[in-house]
Chains A and B, each alone.
Chain A
């Protein structure tokens, strides 16, 4: 008898799961969905700011 897709354990994903920072996930799970999306927005803005900084540095003075 075969297993359903939901039950299927992908050995590749299992390897990737070893590197997941569970404490970070647990910290996020204590937040509300709104707080999680606010954190995402902040991270997104930081990344964009860093990209702008790198681009400006490459252009030079």
Chain B
């Protein structure tokens, strides 16, 4: 079971630079669909990789769905050598994305984010319109219902 609040807090407490995306971001905007994991885009600077490795190490991250016993070492070098990681942790499932289709890496996405206050903290979250654009661009049939819901939310949102 994924503890969304604690996972976010662990990343924030570790000083990790990341952007909240995916189903949890959608839920923060009012979507009612369930999601099983936390998706974030992390910044791939050397310092941030060190922070990410240190913050998550106590949660014993391991590739989700992989057979046990793999020589998987969770450290900055592993993160540097990879890009996107779908992980099982002691606080639940976490997808760490170095970049996303149609959204790019952290530096490209950061201009399309808003500050969102949840659980008494402030997190960087992908803008609703950008979340829709990215999901549209990916074009997975399984996302059609989610996109429809997000577009309705955008229509319902107060105009600025």
Please list the residues of chain A having a beta carbon within 8 angstroms of any beta carbon in chain B: 5-6, 10, 12-14, 16-17, 19-22, 24-26, 28-29, 31, 33-34, 36-37, 39-41, 43-45, 47-48
Contacts and interface: CB of A to CB of B under 8 A. Distances in A.
Contact of B145 (A14, A16, A28, A43): A16
Nearest to B116: A33
B66 to A, nearest CB: 21
B113 interface: no
B27 interface: yes
Contact of A29 (B1, B30, B148): B30
A34 B119 contact: yes
B136 A43 contact: no
Determine which residue in B136, B145, B149, B156 has the highest number of CB atoms from chain A within 10 A of its CB, and name it: B149
- A-B interface, 4 closest residue pairs, ranked by CB to CB distance from nearest: A16-B148, A28-B30, A40-B27, A17-B148
A22 B148 CA distance: 11
B3 A41 contact: yes
B77 interface: no
A47 B86 CA distance: 21
Contacts of A25: 30-32, 149, 152-153, 156
Contact of A41 (B5, B136, B153): B5
Contacts of B3: 41
Q: Is the interface of A mostly helix, strand, loop or mixed?
A: helix
A34 B27 CA distance: 10
Contacts of B46: none
Q: Which of B32, B133, B144 has the most CB of A within 10 A?
A: B32
Contacts of B129: 6
A33 B5 CA distance: 12
B17 to A, nearest CB: 20
B133 A5 contact: yes
Contact of B152 (A22, A31, A37): A22
B148 A6 contact: no
25 contacts: A5-B133, A5-B136, A5-B137, A13-B147, A13-B148, A17-B148, A19-B145, A20-B149, A20-B152, A25-B153, A28-B30, A33-B116, A34-B117, A34-B118, A34-B119, A37-B4, A40-B4, A40-B24, A40-B27, A43-B34, A44-B1, A44-B4, A44-B34, A44-B35, A48-B1
